Structure 1
Amino acid sequence: MCEGVVFDEAPEFDFARQTPQARAGQSGYNNDYTEVLRQPNGKKGLLVCNHEYVNPQIMFPSAPASAAEEAQRRAIFRNAVGMTVVELARGHKGRPWDYVRGGRLNRRITADTKFELTGPLAGSDFVKTAADPTGRFVRGTLVDCSGGSTPWGTILSGEENFNGFFRAGGTSAEDRRYGLENKATGMGWELDDPRFDARGEDYRNEPNRFGYIVELDPEDPHSVPRKHTSLGRFKHEGANVIIADNGKVVAYSGDDERFDYLYKFVSKNKYKKNNKAHNMTLLTEGDLYVAQFAGNSAGGIDGTGTVPADGKFDGKGSWLQLVVNGRSAVAGMGVQDVLVHTRLAADQTGATKMDRCEDVQPNLQTGKVYVACTNNTKRGLPGQAAADEVNPRTENRDGHIVELTERRGDATAFDWNLLMLCGDPATNTETYFSGFPTGELSPISCPGNLAFDTRGNLWISTDGAPSTIGYNDGLFRVGPEGRNRGNVQQFASMPRNAETCGPVIHDDESMAFVAVQHPGEEGTYTVQHSFFSDYVPAGTTPAPGQVRAPRPSIVQMFLQGAAGS
């Protein structure tokens, strides 16, 4: 659904004649987080997805010929990010879905859509600009990566690598910590829109208005989506929520950068069943924590990934306070400073530096929480954090998955262990799969997004395996409990250069959905009009029926052999 038409009045996608206006009525590019919401009758539903970024080199048939064409392409790019909502329909439950062009709930959100800021930063001096002197409304959402759905029917989306879209001063500690630099950006949006040039006073704060968890009501196409500042500002991979025993909402989120942190938010107020309006306020006010891990195998971690003498990687952890009861818990920083410069606040607490926390997924059956740590090839290098029990490999190429057992959803202490150290067990002894026989496992590397099925199995999509273990990225299932704990099996493989994103598992229908992102990104290719296909290098003539590269898409799959616990 890379260029699917969302609205009746929008034109069909024309590869050779793209315009900003047409793109605003078509689905965005590079789908990442995906959710399929089904109505009880099984015949209607909603597809919601976000769009992380664009690939200019494969979106068009040739290089731009003039400055005017370059400017038009930049405008197309701004309309190709954000989010898409489309209605789904099918004849009966268990059949593939078709999307509904011109559906009443269809919606496109772009880099120009109006968003409302909530929480302590709304209206603060940290987020005021010349275009928004009130500091309460933001144009657009950027680099939306993973996300989550809420028990009250809304969608959460994480703004990740927003720094790459702004030209900034680049000299302050805050700019450096967030990767903001004083150099031309890759997209060049600062050439057309002054808010992306943060060097002057008018838009100095514009980068402070990105890096949040976004909440969207997909059932109200006229609603103003929100950016929740209470969950902190960093490179959110996404957010997933559970309802704690005391009725409060707990949201988990990872900061997807080497040596950054795992966070938890606990709402001030409690969830009310069947009260959507109330529940949509729950992420606006609450406490924010960052994780500190302690292993129990002192002296037994040497960076090789060797299993400790007690047979597993495990220990205890603490949630360190950042904001509690509406007040900052970090010395020398007010609550607004903590929430806009969350990374710097977490640096002061002694939080554990992680190997790229991406998706954080609670298992609603057991209450355990799973953290995908994608990789960190700089772990243990000179001047960098050394290996520890929760990140036990130096130059961690393949990543790992952490399992947390919360004593209560809103507690400040937890137990933890590692479910797996990823890799190819046939060629790499630095792997660990909770003791499951390695000869029966699929090789897996770079876990990114997570999902659970109704049986409690954990599904994993990967991002980066071709450069590590030499296999394409894919979709995998692993048992987290009992005799199948650690049993990793692959169910799908992506085309070359493509990341697997946004897995949705409807095992009651033996169906799964994945977003296939950026196929053809690495290499000199151009694009025609199809999806799965053979690559043909640019400058050569394709054979009849052959295309030059696939495009990002959302794929429906029927799973065979996926039953069981």
Structure 2
Amino acid sequence: MAGHTHGSRSAVTCHLRCGDACFQPVPNTTETSYFRDIASSVLSRRSVVGTGLAVGALTALPVAQAAAAPRAGSGSRGPGNAGRLPFSPIAPVPATVDDVTVPAGYRWDTILRWGDPILAGAPGFDATNQTPEAQAGQFGYNNDYLDIIETNRAGTTALLVCNHEYTNEGIMFPPGTDPETVIRTAWAAHGMSVVELTRRTRGDVWTYLPGARLNRRVTLDTPFAVDGPAAGSDLLRTKSDPTGRRVLGTLNNCAGGTTPWGTVLSGEENFNQYFLAAGTDPKETRYGLSSRGDSRNWRSLDPRFDATTDDHRNEPNRFGWIVELDPSDPTSTPVKHTAMGRFKHEGATIVVNRDGHVVAYMGDDERFDYVYRFVSREKMRPGSSAKARRHNLRLLSEGDLSVARFTGDGLEDGVSDGAGEWLPLTRDGRSMVPGFTIEEVLVHTRLAADVVQPTRMDRPEDVEPNLRNGRVYVACTNNTDRGKIGKEGPTEANPRPLNKDGHVVEMIPTRGDHTADTFAWNLFLICGDEASAGRYFGGWDGPVSPISCPDNVAFDSVGNLWVSTDGQPSAITLDDGLFKVPVEGPERGHVQQFLAVPAGAETCGPVIRDREDSVFVAVQHPGEDGSWDAPQSRFPDYVPAGSGAGAGQFAGPRPSVVQVTRA
């Protein structure tokens, strides 16, 4: 999810978004070795960080074009670093503004909204009469990860794929709605959507096609296959599924990635909030499962959400995975990949290494948790033949999982902020963690990672490779617990106490090899407004747009970094937004705000199509602290208060996908 500063909003909202983790100590309480407290020295060396990254033998080599076809928003080769999509940065937007703010010369249009009918036979949206059956055929709630995958050479047809992370029932339903209707409709509003799009020519605004052949909703009723070394494990078996190989549904889907073979990866994040658990075993508490969870009371209609019983004790173990969906085949069974580990996945993004191995980078979105990497056992087969595709669809089923340790040893030569290593958790189908079987490493990945002592980070969310320069960018959203009494203080990779603004780490694989055991790294952005202590922007000394709480990242056609935020209203009293940041050349670190989202919303799933003068964002949870009777946003339809609610006349906010184009 896009994260926020835990506890900074209303208790109800915080619990809906994060689960019980907002109201209990951070789950990672392990004793591991950390960097010395040298935040001041790290920040004093900022001039070294911004010198153009001439990192000698550690310089990353560009990824071969043939090895990794870029997805929407990924970097591909192009002249210079100025990029297309010229704009003048917008002024900072106060957190009370309920509009999408775009630069002069641009316009925004809504492509899809919560409740829009997408399956054949689905009714139109009627907020006063939402039913589980209607919602199962309509666009879900709180859209997060987003991609627009073109399906013809002319660029006039495409598939929109989107996650639906969680629900806010207090805004979605009129007071007095039958509780069973609320729960079952919320079930149908979670999951994922696949929707066909059309347009007249490149650069036009997309229109969605209701009832199209490839349209699909994935909900809690959708069967998922389980693969990898933990499939069939006793740790995944329940009374409902004694095989441990078939799970109904996916939960709390946050960010994701699109693979070079055309599938979409989706991260299951804060799944703990849906289950009642005893909360006495570290295998539960390390994941935030507790007896205070399940505020939605889903167990009243489905006993699998009661993990205090022997029949369903393992049900939470069946969530927290990377799932893979083939949007081109609405009859395909999505897969949960156990080889990639179980934690609170923000998402997974793919790069094909120059030797053909597929590498996935992943962040565990929790205060003081870790950055992970998965390397496939097999190599990707190029081409679009059926044989190659069948092979590539199995690439994430077997491979090696590791976790990152950042150290400060790389500064003596004056060319980088630090060095790092990947600590193996699994290798060649075997556990590399003493005392853990391979199944235990993959199901209880956080506990296994604690043993090898990686670096505890400030909520690492999106971790994405830049296909133009071969580096990897880690968005650390914030960590307001760092430096509190009893909590770890600043470290080189997380340099500020009480970190409300977050930062971005730039990782440089050794010799440009994403499968190497080592890497260099830099603090690329240390976010904040003008009054924030220790701000740093990649070496850029001029004015910048204030930015806080980096969340999702993407790249344009020449490799510029685009950062979306979640948490600015509470951190710097500004609406969240989308920012362009060059990563090379004289403007490296020059933060420029492109858009702002409406009051209470966060900016998710940015897709940058600068060659077509278009940017796409998922506007999630607009007006999130409001209610049915007192909405705090009216985006995107802006129905006046008191006009009545009916089909097409909902006065409250609707999470939506927005396209921004040059006017």
Instruction: Report if TM-score (shorter chain) is over 0.5.
Output: yes
Distance, in Å, in 2 between the alignment partners of 1:106 and 1:210 is 25
- Counterpart of 1:419 in structure 2 is 524
- Counterpart of 1:260 in structure 2 is 369
- Whether 2:389 is the aligned partner of 1:276: answer yes
- Whether 2:287 is the aligned partner of 1:209: answer no
Query: Identity of aligned pairs, percent?
Result: 54
- Whether 2:408 is the aligned partner of 1:295: answer yes
Equivalent residues of 1:295, 1:388 under 8 A apart: no
Distance, in Å, in 2 between the alignment partners of 1:147 and 1:311 is 35
Moved more, 389-398 or 426-435: 426-435
The unaligned stretches of length 5 or more in structure 2 are: 1-111
Equivalent residues of 2:272, 2:293 under 8 A apart: no
TM-score by length of 1: 0.92
Cα distance per residue 1:88-146 (max 9 Å; x no partner): 00111110000011111000000110000010111110100111111100000000000
Distance, in Å, in 2 between the alignment partners of 1:235 and 1:112 is 21
What's the offset of the Cα at 1:276? 1.3
Cα distance per residue 1:177-219 (max 9 Å; x no partner): 0011123512211110011111111111000000000000000
Distance, in Å, in 2 between the alignment partners of 1:11 and 1:524 is 24
**Counterpart secondary structure, 2:127:** coil
Distance, in Å, in 2 between the alignment partners of 1:261 and 1:427 is 29
- Counterpart of 2:122 in structure 1 is 10
Distance, in Å, in 2 between the alignment partners of 1:258 and 1:454 is 32
- Counterpart of 2:69 in structure 1 is none
Cα distance per residue 1:454-505 (max 9 Å; x no partner): 0111111100000001100001100011111100100111111101000001
- Counterpart of 1:377 in structure 2 is 480
Distance, in Å, in 2 between the alignment partners of 1:245 and 1:44 is 31
- The equivalences for 1:29-108 within 5 A come to 29-38=141-150, 39-60=152-173, 62-64=174-176, 69-108=178-217
Relative to its length, the structure with more helix (as a share) is: 2
Distance, in Å, in 2 between the alignment partners of 1:9 and 1:256 is 38
Distance, in Å, in 2 between the alignment partners of 1:297 and 1:428 is 27
**Counterpart secondary structure, 2:521:** strand
Distance, in Å, in 2 between the alignment partners of 1:559 and 1:267 is 41
What's the offset of the Cα at 1:279? 0.5
Relative to 1, partners in 2 of residues 1:96 and 1:21: Cα closer, same or farther, differing over 3 Å? Answer: same
Give 1:417's aligned amino acid: N
Equivalent residues of 1:528, 1:547 under 8 A apart: no
Equivalent residues of 2:156, 2:201 under 8 A apart: yes
Equivalent residues of 2:406, 2:455 under 8 A apart: yes
Distance, in Å, in 2 between the alignment partners of 1:262 and 1:535 is 43
- The equivalences for 1:239-250 within 5 A come to 239-250=348-359
Of 382, 393, 401, 2:496 maps to: 393
**Counterpart secondary structure, 2:374:** strand
What's the offset of the Cα at 1:534? 6.7
Cα distance per residue 1:414-467 (max 9 Å; x no partner): 00001110001x2224200022124x2100000000000101111111000000
Distance, in Å, in 2 between the alignment partners of 1:18 and 1:225 is 27
- The equivalences for 1:157-556 within 5 A come to 157-183=266-292, 185-274=294-383, 275-296=388-409, 314-407=417-510, 408-424=513-529, 426-438=530-542, 440-526=543-629, 531-532=635-636, 541=642, 548-556=651-659
What's the offset of the Cα at 1:532? 3.5
Distance, in Å, in 2 between the alignment partners of 1:297 and 1:63 is 59
Equivalent residues of 1:260, 1:353 under 8 A apart: yes
Relative to 1, partners in 2 of residues 1:368 and 1:297: Cα closer, same or farther, differing over 3 Å? Answer: closer
Distance, in Å, in 1 between the alignment partners of 2:639 and 2:338 is 43
Equivalent residues of 1:87, 1:103 under 8 A apart: yes
Equivalent residues of 2:626, 2:632 under 8 A apart: no
Relative to 1, partners in 2 of residues 1:441 and 1:6: Cα closer, same or farther, differing over 3 Å? Answer: same
Distance, in Å, in 2 between the alignment partners of 1:543 and 1:528 is 16
What's the offset of the Cα at 1:72? 1.1
Relative to 1, partners in 2 of residues 1:3 and 1:133: Cα closer, same or farther, differing over 3 Å? Answer: same
**Counterpart secondary structure, 1:78:** helix
Relative to 1, partners in 2 of residues 1:559 and 1:170: Cα closer, same or farther, differing over 3 Å? Answer: farther
Equivalent residues of 1:295, 1:313 under 8 A apart: no
Equivalent residues of 1:534, 1:546 under 8 A apart: no
**Counterpart secondary structure, 1:387:** coil
Distance, in Å, in 2 between the alignment partners of 1:357 and 1:535 is 37
Distance, in Å, in 2 between the alignment partners of 1:474 and 1:20 is 33
- Counterpart of 2:78 in structure 1 is none
What's the offset of the Cα at 1:368? 0.3
The unaligned stretches of length 5 or more in structure 1 are: 299-308, 561-565
Cα distance per residue 1:532-554 (max 9 Å; x no partner): 37798xxx746999974321100
Distance, in Å, in 2 between the alignment partners of 1:260 and 1:277 is 34
Runs of 4+ in 1 over 3 A off after TM superposition: 309-313, 523-530, 532-536, 540-549
Equivalent residues of 2:623, 2:632 under 8 A apart: no
Equivalent residues of 2:509, 2:520 under 8 A apart: yes
What's the offset of the Cα at 1:53? 0.2
| Aligned Cα root-mean-square deviation (Å) | 2.1
Distance, in Å, in 1 between the alignment partners of 2:345 and 2:439 is 18
Relative to 1, partners in 2 of residues 1:219 and 1:546: Cα closer, same or farther, differing over 3 Å? Answer: closer
Distance, in Å, in 1 between the alignment partners of 2:215 and 2:333 is 15
- Counterpart of 2:16 in structure 1 is none
Distance, in Å, in 2 between the alignment partners of 1:97 and 1:297 is 47
**Counterpart secondary structure, 2:442:** helix
**Counterpart secondary structure, 1:484:** coil
